[in-house]
Chains A and B, each alone.
Chain A
């Protein structure tokens, strides 16, 4: 085992896969000598040269369309979009082209491409640089969506994504790059489509992903210490296709569920998890499911305001206590009064 950062995990995954398969290329804005806006491709340009680590013009549509064209004709591109907020520009290439081309063409093609991008708030980057758009992309059949929370998952999932013959959106979280964690010395993969139980517990299930998975672990520790509440934390890791079985199994055990995400509450991943559990585990539920998510407000810049919109471990603690029937006054900030 070695300890590396989330950022290093991403670099290593790309490096190993580029060494393994020369069809793998990286393209995007400032990914070359500069090493990427989030410094994830440092050293790759020097190692693989400008033909495999390609600085593109500032043109997201051409980046994704270009990667798709490469994928359809024998390459295995990784396309980097600096912020997930900028996928608005290439939305068509992602959802109307890459996601559907195989199906529309009756299976004539495979689309081995990865869209690496980064989202999340907490940096006072304001409304166009702080969003969590996974639920948007999860709506579309034909796209796989993975979101690692730890260096271990970051490396293993990216390697799997690069080997996948379908378009994968690999969404990093901007607040996690310097987080450290253990990874094996030897090669390993983390399968796409498999959630991870990051903490076992008996009393209540929390389903989270990306940064909220880490926040859930923090909240779980507190609940254990303060009240002896035993929380099971499931990290989805893959948003789509979702590993329903792991969730259902947990809910059948605990009988209670809180869905926790950083995206807006309206039509989010938490809503989706909640709906599926209601449909499939209704008889096992001992309390209404609760969602803890961002307020339905564009992410504001000022620290005091941003803090008010983005969920934190406190919100989760309050929600867990509530589904366990502890009658506490719920702060308005949590924004789930409709569940009462």
Chain B
């Protein structure tokens, strides 16, 4: 059995600067996602757009422990990972709005957001497909003999696909520096995690491949950070891959058209009451580390940054149809 860890985000451990950083990044992601949805509803943003509202603590807690040269591979729900890894928000909006200034020059859109230069290997439209790629990055790290690590985010649903199992097995067999981060938001589209696997929890699948595996409250950014810190230090010490199973929740539907007939309003309210942003803000004020006004100021600042980024993206030119064949092959 994987070790289930209690959230250890006690107030005493909160250091104001770190906490404010967490709060700020989580708020940036929240605003980015909420505004993306609005743009989507208005038709300014088209295609697909899977938002991660509710799950911000996982992206932020994990990425806060990464170095700039570490790698991250992501999923169809990857805007948060991208922001937490340090991507430029203006370029992200530009991508969503089909602009030349977008990270993928408008060719990828939401599901293929990537900032490879910053180690963000990209979102992915195929569930599970990022997992073997992250293992490959881990293999490359081993062959190049650096002390980087490779991190891959994936959903509970992805733990049922073959690519996941092949990748975990290889990472384990080759003792690769890979951290597998499962964002268990309780559902793969409409199906419940527990109904779709005989395993009691996702982390048991990490244990099955003989890697250090932890189960953690994914709504608590400190709990995620602490567990990540422990696992990464083992990985960097050459002890092989590890698995982090984060229990979290997506507040909205799978995508825009999903009316969520498979879950109850009560369940949604229960998870929202444990919101990663408000919980942290409340802890900070209760410990008198910040005033409500100061927290509002952080939020206002995040909101402003998002608006400015959208405006910047809107002002930037559309893609050039004449160059549609560019980037099929390297010259």
Contact = CB atoms under 8 A, between A and B. Distances in A.
Given A124-B109, A300-B107, A301-B106, A86 B126 contact: yes
Given A57-B197, A124-B47, A85 B125 contact: yes
A59 B107 CA distance: 27
Nearest to B190: A34
Contacts, number: 125
B164 to A, nearest CB: 10
B325 interface: yes
Nearest to A124: B47
A58 B47 contact: no
B321 A308 contact: yes
Contacts of A60: 161
A305 B126 contact: no
A297 B125 contact: no
Majority SS at the chain B contact face: loop
Tell which of A32, A58, A128 has the most Cβ of chain B within 10 Å.
Answer: A58
Contact of A304 (B160, B188, B190, B318): B318
Interface residues of B, number: 39
Interface string B305-318: 00000000000001
Interface string A45-70: 00000000001111111000000000
Given A58-B127, A129-B48, A302 B112 contact: no
B157 A58 contact: yes
Contact of A307 (B107, B108, B160, B321): B321
B191 interface: yes
B106 A300 contact: yes
A33 interface: yes
Interface in A112-147: 123-129
Contacts of B128: 58
A262 interface: no
A37 interface: yes
Question: Per DSSP, are chain A's interface residues mostly helix, strand or loop, or mixed?
Answer: loop
Contacts of A58: 127-128, 157-158, 160-161, 188, 191, 196
Contact of B162 (A37, A61, A304, A309): A61
A59 B160 contact: yes
Nearest to A128: B125
B121 to A, nearest CB: 15
A74 interface: no
B191 A30 contact: yes
Contact of B324 (A32, A89, A129, A308): A308
A88 interface: yes
A59 B47 contact: no
A46 B91 CA distance: 46
A304 B321 contact: yes
A309 B322 CA distance: 11
Interface in A276-333: 295-298, 300-305, 307-309
B90 interface: no
B158 A126 contact: no
B318 A129 contact: no
A31 B177 CA distance: 38
A302 B318 contact: yes
A72 B321 CA distance: 49
A261 interface: no
A309 B161 CA distance: 32
A57 B190 CA distance: 11
Contacts of B109: 124, 126, 301-302
B108 to A, nearest CB: 6
Nearest to B320: A304
A86 B328 CA distance: 21
B328 A297 contact: yes
Contacts of B46: 123-124, 303
A80 interface: no
A172 interface: no
Interface residues of A, number: 37
A29 interface: yes
Contacts of B262: 33-34
B240 interface: no
Contacts of B110: 301
A45 B112 CA distance: 34
B328 A129 contact: no
B297 interface: no
Contact of A55 (B191, B318, B325): B191
Contacts of B188: 29, 57-58
Interface string B182-200: 0000001111000111000
Interface in B83-119: 98-99, 104, 106-112
A300 B315 CA distance: 21
Contacts of A56: 196
Contacts of A127: 107-108, 112, 125
Interface in A87-114: 88-89
A55 B328 CA distance: 37
Contacts of A61: 161-162
A126 B112 CA distance: 8
Nearest to B126: A128
Contact of B190 (A30, A86, A129, A301): A30
Nearest to B188: A58
Given A58-B188, A308-B321, A89 B157 contact: no
B162 to A, nearest CB: 5
A128 B124 CA distance: 9
Given A123-B46, A128-B112, A301-B106, 8 more contacts: A56-B196, A58-B128, A125-B48, A126-B107, A126-B108, A301-B112, A303-B98, A304-B106
Interface of B: 46-48, 98-99, 104, 106-112, 124-128, 157-158, 160-163, 188-191, 195-197, 261-262, 318-319, 321, 324-325, 328
Q: Sorted from nearest, which 9 A-B pairs have the closest CB atoms?
A: A301-B109, A302-B98, A302-B106, A128-B125, A124-B47, A34-B190, A57-B160, A58-B157, A57-B196
19 contacts: A34-B189, A55-B195, A57-B191, A58-B196, A61-B161, A124-B47, A128-B112, A128-B124, A129-B111, A295-B325, A298-B107, A298-B328, A301-B106, A301-B107, A302-B109, A302-B318, A302-B319, A304-B318, A305-B98
